[in-house]
Amino acid sequence: MLKPLILSICVLLATVVAGQPVGNLDSLEQVASGTGQAAVKANNQLYNQFINSNPKKALDYTLHALDLALTLNFKEGIAASYNNIGVFYKNHGVIDKAMSYHLQSLQLNKDINNAKGYAYSLNNIGTIYSMKGQYKNALEYFLKSYWLLDSLKDEKNMVGALNNLGNTYLAMGEDYRAIGFYKKAIKLYDKIDHSEFDPYSNIGNAYYQRGEYKRAKKYYELALKTSIERKDIVGQAFALHNLAALEKDKNNNKNALELELKALSHAQNVINKPLLKDIHLSLANLYYSLGNIEQAYDNRVLYDAYRNDIVNETSSKKLADLEVTFHLLEKEKEIELIRKENELNKLRVSNTKTIVIIAIMGAIILLGGLIIFLSLKNGNKGFNMFNRRMKPTGKE
């Protein structure tokens, strides 16, 4: 059985959005160059723009946002940056660091009653637990995130939360429950903009694992249709590859070959090497089943080539990840210095306020004492005058 590819768990990136949306990168860059809260928001938005295409650049944006937010004591901005740093660490496999930042973001969002940010942090903590294989903990946080998003009527992110719940139950082998959450995600998905997410492949995978190929095919075809509407070439390649797997399992090798060749064409257009690797392995098996040994051999060679490329690229990526992670660890030292400086400033301000209050209280006490003293003095003077008037003169 060829296993279809399951979509990854959704990670919610925290964006502190300014009053009005900013239209393009140039205007975002202009706002980000400032020093106020708007600059913090813009830098965190720029992080979201670059997190997938240029992680190091994205990191620099959110670290700058954090520097500004700490200086301004802008807690919403601090929470958003902590969340973004957590996502960055998660993407680079530094799971414990990622968890630490998401927990800090969670607490800050709770302190300032930022419900949406709190929901994002809950979701992302669930993602970390899921990556660790601690699925019960993951479910707890995904459910809390979903309930909060539901109360906020945030339907777009509810789709992602429901998808995460479905993926977690599927990983636990509870495909029936997974299907229930995927169906809820699809129901919401039909009500919102279809430009960012595809819930159909996952439910197709769940039915595929149950051996319910007819239902799996229905959802894979919907995934293909949706990806065509979105002009998502990668999505089309995945959907075609999954449909080919179904046909192969039903021994419809000619249909499977036709679908897999279409998937190959799409994957080549976007140079998706992991998908190309899987497609060439599938093609090698299909050609072998159809008696075309030459084509089977050629595709097996291509499969091996892509697999080796991926191994080499993975090694290179690990080195690059180490470099970027080291860059972040160095930046953390600067952040810690800024945090300590802010704490000292707060302490200085607090001490100054205390001194002023003590001085005011001392002045009040001194003034009160002076008033009492003068009152007593005037009172004694009046008493002496009264006594002189009342004293007998000796005359009758």
Q: Answer whether residue 176 is part of any domain.
A: no
Q: Answer whether residue 289 is part of any domain.
A: yes
Predicted pLDDT at 213:
93
Q: Residue range 261-281: average pLDDT? A: 90
Predicted pLDDT at 126:
95
Q: How confident is the model at residue 56 (pLDDT cuts 50, 70, 90)?
A: confident
Q: Residue range 57-82: average pLDDT? A: 92
Q: Answer whether residue 245 is part of any domain.
A: no
Predicted pLDDT at 195:
56
Same domain? For 25 and 144 the reply is yes
Predicted pLDDT at 322:
58
Q: Answer whether residue 130 is part of any domain.
A: yes
Distance CA 241, CA 4 (A): 7
Q: Residue range 147-173: average pLDDT? A: 92
Predicted pLDDT at 189:
84
Nearest Cα to 62, choosing from 76, 39, 43? 43
Domain count of the chain?
2
Q: Answer whether residue 128 is part of any domain.
A: yes
Same domain? For 260 and 126 the reply is no
Same domain? For 140 and 14 the reply is yes
Which of 310, 338, 373 is a domain's end point?
A: 310
Same domain? For 261 and 130 the reply is no
Q: Is 165 or 334 the better-scoring residue by pLDDT?
A: 165
Same domain? For 27 and 147 the reply is yes
Which of 121, 152, 183 is a domain's end point?
A: 152
Checking if the pLDDT of 1 tops 60, the result is: no
Q: Answer whether residue 352 is part of any domain.
A: no
Q: Residue range 170-175: average pLDDT? A: 91
pLDDT tens-place string over residues 345-354 = 666 666 666 6
Predicted pLDDT at 295:
94
pLDDT tens-place string over residues 215-255 = 999 999 999 998 898 888 888 999 999 999 999 999 999 99
CB 164 within 8 A of CB 130: yes
Q: Answer whether residue 212 is part of any domain.
A: no
Q: Where residue 107 sits, what CATH number does that domain have?
A: 1.25.40.10
Domain ranges, residue 296: 255-310
Q: How confident is the model at residue 26 (pLDDT cuts 50, 70, 90)?
A: confident
How many whole angstroms from its chain centre is CA 76?
14
- Phi and psi dihedrals of 255, rounded to 5? -65, -40
Q: How confident is the model at residue 365 (pLDDT cuts 50, 70, 90)?
A: confident
Predicted pLDDT at 8:
47
Which of 152, 172, 191 is a domain's end point?
A: 152
Checking if the pLDDT of 18 tops 50, the result is: no
Q: Answer whether residue 267 is part of any domain.
A: yes
